[in-house]
Amino acid sequence: MTKMRSANHGERLFGRFGAVSPIDKAEPNQEAQPRRAAVPRPLLARLVWPVAFGATTLLPSLPAAARALACPADALGVSRTLELDARGGFQVGLKSYPQTLALEDREVILTFDDGPAPPTAKILDALASECVKATFFLVGRNAAAMPALVRRAVAEGHTIGHHTFSHPGATLRRLSDQAARAEIEKGVAADEIAAYGAAGAVPRTPFFRFPGFADTPALIEWLSARNIAVFGADLWASDWTPMTPEAQLALVLDRLEKDGRGIVLFHDTKQQTALMMPAFLRELKRRGFKIVHVKPGAEPPALRAAPPGWTSETDKIITDVFAKETHAGRKGKAKASPPKVPAEPAN
């Protein structure tokens, strides 16, 4: 299993300014390719990898009704659904906030960021084959480019959350408050048009996740006043780092076993995640984990406080990255030489 230090996770997560997906650097309907050959070739992936990991089907995507009928009796399924009341707002996810949803031992919430993208279809296939529901935090411009995938996710019972319109590389923390609000509102509108054909004054799903988890007190207050909940994460899949599906599977399972429960962050822009997902869901079932689905409703959220000594891991990473940027900029000016162009963020 690949071992990585927490600091390395953070650098790859936030990159130069924030967790920018490679799909945001390309056309919305194109998938960025891994920088090294970490996953099998397409033909081998269809013929070898699914056999090794026991994929349930090699058939093309089926209509939702057909998938429901084909769902096996021993599927992982959804253990329970939390219909959360977002009035007044709330913030959850121990990577960023001192509280999270009060999940029981071995309960897992699956979330996916940055889509839709080509791998989203494979991820939806995997979820459908195990009768599992997840939450997708969409990038608005990608939703506008691939509305059929958004409508499919809605039709299959998944929750549609929001993740800004363009996933700005500077993160919302380095935009003006007015520009950040506009970026959020534009993203919500694009998501809703893609999903439902029209955008209303109030989001149908009042769930939001900050790009790079880079929030601000002013934006939290504004979202709360609009009755929008903010989701962080309890565990990272680290799928912004190129690795084989086998390595990613081992990494995520190891973290889940250590924490025992939580909101897990994946990216449905990643082919390695799509290839891993069938085996991951079956392994959750084998190890006794249960899926919890979240959607809007009237239940006040039951919250679990962070353990004593908690600090925000994401806030520390963002602060460190910004400090390094500032230091590098000052050093460059002192030498009277043009600044170097930073490497593309990994996520």
160 part of a folded domain:
yes
What confidence category does residue 323 fall into, taking pLDDT thresholds of 50, 70 and 90?
Answer: confident
Specify the pLDDT at position 8.
Answer: 44
**Are the CB atoms for 268 and 119 separated by under 8 Å?**
yes
The single residue of 113, 234, 239, 268 carrying the catalytic annotation is 113
Would residue 114 show up in a list of annotated catalytic residues for this protein? no
150 part of a folded domain:
yes
- Which residue spans within 16-93 are E strands per DSSP? 80-84, 91-92
Q: For the whole model, what pTM was predicted?
A: 0.78
Residue 31, pLDDT above cutoff 70 = no
Give the chain's domain count: 1
CB neighbours (10 Å) of residue 239? 25
* Side-chain-side CA neighbours of residue 314 (13 Å): 27
306 part of a folded domain:
yes
Q: How many residues are listed for the chain in this entry?
A: 347
More confident residue, 285 or 324: 285
Q: Average of pLDDT values for 64-91?
A: 84
CA distances from 178 to 17, 98, 169, 222, 230 (A): 19, 27, 17, 11, 19
50 part of a folded domain:
no
154 part of a folded domain:
yes
User: Distance (Å, rounded) from C-alpha 205 to C-alpha 196?
Assistant: 12
203 part of a folded domain:
yes
Q: Domain with 131 in it: what CATH number? A: 3.20.20.370
Specify the pLDDT at position 66.
Answer: 52
Would residue 327 show up in a list of annotated catalytic residues for this protein? no
Residue 257, pLDDT above cutoff 80 = yes
149 part of a folded domain:
yes
93 part of a folded domain:
yes
According to DSSP H, which parts of the chain are helical?
A: 6-14, 42-47, 49-52, 64-70, 118-129, 140-145, 147-155, 177-196, 217-225, 245-259, 271-286, 313-334
Residue range of the domain that includes 104: 77-334
DSSP state of 98: S
Lowest mean per-residue pLDDT among 67-76, 119-128, 214-223: 67-76
The single residue of 158, 162, 163, 267 carrying the catalytic annotation is 267
User: Distance (Å, rounded) from C-alpha 214 to C-alpha 90?
Assistant: 16
Q: How far is CA 170 from the centre of its chain?
A: 18
